[in-house]
Amino acid sequence: MKTLYIVDDHKMMQKGVKDYLEENTDWRVPKTFSQSQECLKALKDAGGRNELPQIVIVDVQLLNESGLELAQTIARDFPSVQCVMYSMYDTTGFVLQARDSGASGYISKVAKEEELAHCLEVVQNGGTYLEQYMLDAQNKIDSIVSILSKQERNIFEALLQEKTNKQICDELYISSRTVENYTSRLYSKIGVKNREELIEKFK
Protein backbone atom coordinates (compact mmCIF):
# COMPACT_ATOMS: atom_id res chain seq x y z
CA MET A 1 0.00 0.00 0.00
CA LYS A 2 1.27 3.47 -0.88
CA THR A 3 1.19 5.72 2.17
CA LEU A 4 2.18 9.28 2.95
CA TYR A 5 1.97 11.80 5.76
CA ILE A 6 0.98 15.45 5.45
CA VAL A 7 2.52 18.21 7.58
CA ASP A 8 0.66 21.52 7.25
CA ASP A 9 -0.52 23.94 9.92
CA HIS A 10 -3.75 24.63 8.01
CA LYS A 11 -6.31 21.98 8.92
CA MET A 12 -8.45 22.67 5.85
CA MET A 13 -5.44 22.18 3.59
CA GLN A 14 -4.59 18.92 5.34
CA LYS A 15 -8.13 17.64 4.87
CA GLY A 16 -8.43 18.82 1.29
CA VAL A 17 -5.22 17.13 0.14
CA LYS A 18 -5.93 13.96 2.13
CA ASP A 19 -9.49 13.66 0.79
CA TYR A 20 -8.44 14.27 -2.82
CA LEU A 21 -5.62 11.72 -2.74
CA GLU A 22 -7.62 9.00 -1.02
CA GLU A 23 -10.63 9.49 -3.31
CA ASN A 24 -8.75 9.81 -6.61
CA THR A 25 -5.43 7.95 -6.28
CA ASP A 26 -3.90 4.84 -4.72
CA TRP A 27 -2.30 6.90 -1.95
CA ARG A 28 -3.47 6.53 1.64
CA VAL A 29 -2.86 9.18 4.30
CA PRO A 30 -2.89 7.51 7.73
CA LYS A 31 -1.58 10.57 9.57
CA THR A 32 -1.56 14.35 9.25
CA PHE A 33 0.30 16.83 11.46
CA SER A 34 0.52 20.53 12.20
CA GLN A 35 4.00 20.49 13.78
CA SER A 36 7.31 18.94 12.83
CA GLN A 37 7.91 17.23 16.19
CA GLU A 38 4.61 15.37 15.92
CA CYS A 39 5.65 14.09 12.50
CA LEU A 40 9.14 13.05 13.64
CA LYS A 41 7.73 11.14 16.61
CA ALA A 42 5.29 9.31 14.33
CA LEU A 43 8.08 8.47 11.88
CA LYS A 44 10.20 7.06 14.67
CA ASP A 45 7.30 4.93 15.90
CA ALA A 46 6.46 3.79 12.37
CA GLY A 47 10.09 2.89 11.72
CA GLY A 48 10.06 0.60 14.71
CA ARG A 49 7.12 -1.25 13.14
CA ASN A 50 8.56 -1.19 9.61
CA GLU A 51 5.59 0.94 8.56
CA LEU A 52 7.29 4.11 7.34
CA PRO A 53 5.42 6.09 4.67
CA GLN A 54 7.01 6.44 1.26
CA ILE A 55 6.55 10.23 1.22
CA VAL A 56 5.92 13.15 3.56
CA ILE A 57 4.26 16.24 2.08
CA VAL A 58 5.59 19.26 3.98
CA ASP A 59 4.50 22.90 3.93
CA VAL A 60 7.54 25.16 3.58
CA GLN A 61 6.40 27.53 6.33
CA LEU A 62 4.83 25.96 9.39
CA LEU A 63 3.64 27.94 12.40
CA ASN A 64 6.76 29.34 14.10
CA GLU A 65 9.03 26.82 12.39
CA SER A 66 10.49 25.92 9.02
CA GLY A 67 9.26 23.00 6.97
CA LEU A 68 12.62 23.03 5.22
CA GLU A 69 14.34 22.13 8.49
CA LEU A 70 11.90 19.25 8.89
CA ALA A 71 12.74 18.03 5.39
CA GLN A 72 16.43 18.16 6.23
CA THR A 73 15.89 16.12 9.42
CA ILE A 74 13.80 13.52 7.58
CA ALA A 75 16.44 13.19 4.85
CA ARG A 76 19.10 12.62 7.52
CA ASP A 77 17.23 10.37 9.95
CA PHE A 78 14.79 8.54 7.64
CA PRO A 79 16.60 8.26 4.28
CA SER A 80 14.00 5.89 2.81
CA VAL A 81 11.30 8.56 3.20
CA GLN A 82 11.08 11.20 0.46
CA CYS A 83 9.86 14.75 1.07
CA VAL A 84 7.71 16.83 -1.25
CA MET A 85 7.51 20.52 -0.37
CA TYR A 86 4.03 22.00 -0.89
CA SER A 87 3.80 25.74 -0.50
CA MET A 88 2.47 29.13 -1.50
CA TYR A 89 6.11 30.22 -1.82
CA ASP A 90 7.35 29.47 -5.31
CA THR A 91 10.38 31.73 -5.71
CA THR A 92 13.65 30.20 -6.86
CA GLY A 93 15.25 30.83 -3.47
CA PHE A 94 12.81 28.55 -1.68
CA VAL A 95 13.06 25.89 -4.38
CA LEU A 96 16.86 25.95 -4.20
CA GLN A 97 16.80 25.72 -0.40
CA ALA A 98 14.36 22.81 -0.59
CA ARG A 99 16.72 20.96 -2.90
CA ASP A 100 19.60 21.63 -0.51
CA SER A 101 17.44 20.32 2.35
CA GLY A 102 17.03 16.97 0.64
CA ALA A 103 13.51 17.36 -0.74
CA SER A 104 12.74 15.36 -3.87
CA GLY A 105 9.84 17.49 -5.04
CA TYR A 106 8.54 21.05 -4.83
CA ILE A 107 5.07 22.05 -5.94
CA SER A 108 2.99 25.16 -5.35
CA LYS A 109 -0.40 25.08 -3.65
CA VAL A 110 -1.95 26.75 -6.68
CA ALA A 111 -1.04 23.77 -8.88
CA LYS A 112 -3.85 21.48 -9.98
CA GLU A 113 -4.51 18.41 -7.87
CA GLU A 114 -3.60 16.19 -10.81
CA GLU A 115 -0.13 17.71 -10.90
CA LEU A 116 0.37 16.99 -7.21
CA ALA A 117 -0.61 13.37 -7.85
CA HIS A 118 1.84 13.23 -10.77
CA CYS A 119 4.58 14.74 -8.59
CA LEU A 120 4.02 12.04 -5.96
CA GLU A 121 4.31 9.27 -8.56
CA VAL A 122 7.56 10.69 -9.95
CA VAL A 123 9.08 11.00 -6.49
CA GLN A 124 7.87 7.57 -5.39
CA ASN A 125 9.58 6.07 -8.45
CA GLY A 126 12.91 7.63 -7.50
CA GLY A 127 12.73 10.85 -9.50
CA THR A 128 12.69 14.53 -8.62
CA TYR A 129 9.91 16.93 -9.53
CA LEU A 130 9.52 20.64 -10.12
CA GLU A 131 6.74 22.42 -11.96
CA GLN A 132 7.90 23.49 -15.41
CA TYR A 133 8.17 27.21 -14.64
CA MET A 134 10.20 26.40 -11.52
CA LEU A 135 12.44 24.08 -13.53
CA ASP A 136 13.17 26.81 -16.06
CA ALA A 137 14.26 29.18 -13.27
CA GLN A 138 16.37 26.52 -11.57
CA ASN A 139 18.19 25.75 -14.79
CA LYS A 140 19.26 29.39 -14.93
CA ILE A 141 20.89 29.31 -11.51
CA ASP A 142 22.64 25.92 -11.66
CA SER A 143 25.75 27.37 -13.28
CA ILE A 144 25.83 30.16 -10.67
CA VAL A 145 25.51 28.10 -7.50
CA SER A 146 28.37 25.83 -8.58
CA ILE A 147 30.83 28.73 -8.15
CA LEU A 148 29.51 29.90 -4.77
CA SER A 149 30.86 29.04 -1.34
CA LYS A 150 28.43 27.51 1.17
CA GLN A 151 27.83 30.84 2.92
CA GLU A 152 27.46 32.67 -0.38
CA ARG A 153 24.89 30.09 -1.42
CA ASN A 154 22.98 30.57 1.86
CA ILE A 155 22.84 34.32 1.31
CA PHE A 156 22.00 33.88 -2.38
CA GLU A 157 19.01 31.74 -1.38
CA ALA A 158 17.91 34.33 1.18
CA LEU A 159 18.17 37.18 -1.34
CA LEU A 160 16.06 35.25 -3.83
CA GLN A 161 13.52 34.74 -1.05
CA GLU A 162 13.45 38.56 -0.76
CA LYS A 163 14.54 38.50 2.87
CA THR A 164 15.89 41.67 4.45
CA ASN A 165 19.46 42.03 5.66
CA LYS A 166 18.22 41.85 9.25
CA GLN A 167 16.38 38.58 8.56
CA ILE A 168 19.53 37.16 6.98
CA CYS A 169 21.61 38.26 9.98
CA ASP A 170 19.18 36.63 12.40
CA GLU A 171 18.93 33.36 10.47
CA LEU A 172 22.63 32.91 9.73
CA TYR A 173 23.96 34.47 12.97
CA ILE A 174 26.23 36.92 11.17
CA SER A 175 26.68 40.69 11.37
CA SER A 176 25.09 43.20 9.02
CA ARG A 177 28.54 44.15 7.73
CA THR A 178 29.21 40.51 6.87
CA VAL A 179 25.91 40.31 4.98
CA GLU A 180 26.78 43.48 3.07
CA ASN A 181 30.21 42.12 2.15
CA TYR A 182 28.85 38.80 0.94
CA THR A 183 26.06 40.55 -0.97
CA SER A 184 28.52 42.82 -2.80
CA ARG A 185 30.63 39.79 -3.67
CA LEU A 186 27.58 38.00 -5.03
CA TYR A 187 26.58 40.96 -7.19
CA SER A 188 30.07 40.96 -8.68
CA LYS A 189 30.11 37.22 -9.38
CA ILE A 190 26.64 37.23 -10.89
CA GLY A 191 27.03 40.45 -12.84
CA VAL A 192 24.24 42.55 -11.34
CA LYS A 193 24.23 45.95 -9.64
CA ASN A 194 21.66 45.46 -6.89
CA ARG A 195 19.13 43.17 -5.25
CA GLU A 196 16.34 44.09 -7.64
CA GLU A 197 18.43 43.08 -10.67
CA LEU A 198 19.43 39.82 -8.98
CA ILE A 199 15.82 38.85 -8.24
CA GLU A 200 14.67 39.82 -11.73
CA LYS A 201 17.47 37.79 -13.35
CA PHE A 202 16.46 34.57 -11.60
CA LYS A 203 12.67 34.77 -11.71
pLDDT tens digits along 181-192: 999 999 988 888
For residue 46, the model assigns a pLDDT of: 93
Between 201 and 35, where is the model more confident?
35
Q: Band of the pLDDT at 132, cuts 50, 70, 90?
A: confident
Provide the 8-state DSSP code for 110: T
The pLDDT of residue 36 = 94
Q: If you average pLDDT over residues 17-23, what whole number do you get? A: 96
| This prediction's pTM | 0.79
Q: Considering the chain, what percentage of its residues have pLDDT values greater than 90?
A: 60
Q: How many CA atoms lie within 13 A of 185 on its CB side?
A: 14
Give the mean pLDDT of 49-57.
95
pLDDT at 6: 97
Least confident of 110-119, 143-152, 179-188: 143-152
Does residue 134 have a pLDDT over 80?
no
Letter for the amino acid at 68?
L
- Statement: residue 35 has pLDDT above 90: yes
| Phi, then psi, of 103 in degrees rounded to 5 | -70, 145
The pLDDT of residue 92: 79
Instruction: Return the SS3 of 4.
Output: strand
Quickly state the pLDDT bin for 162 (edges 50, 70, 90). confident
Alpha-carbon gap, residue 91 to 101, rounded angstroms: 16
Three-state DSSP state, 91: coil
> How far apart are alpha carbons 155 and 159 in whole angstroms?
6
If one counts every other C-beta atom within 10 angstroms of the C-beta of residue 98, the result is 27
pLDDT band for position 28 (50/70/90)? Answer: very high
Task: Give the number of other CB atoms < 10 A from CB of residue 139.
Answer: 10
Q: How far is CA 153 from CA 7, 20, 147, 203, in A?
A: 27, 37, 9, 17
Instruction: Tell me the three-class secondary structure of 135-186, residue by residue.
Output: HHHHHHHHHHHCCCCHHHHHHHHHHHCCCCHHHHHHHHCCCHHHHHHHHHHH
State phi, psi for 105 to the nearest 5 degrees: -150, 155
Query: Over 80: is that where the pLDDT of 135 sits?
Result: no
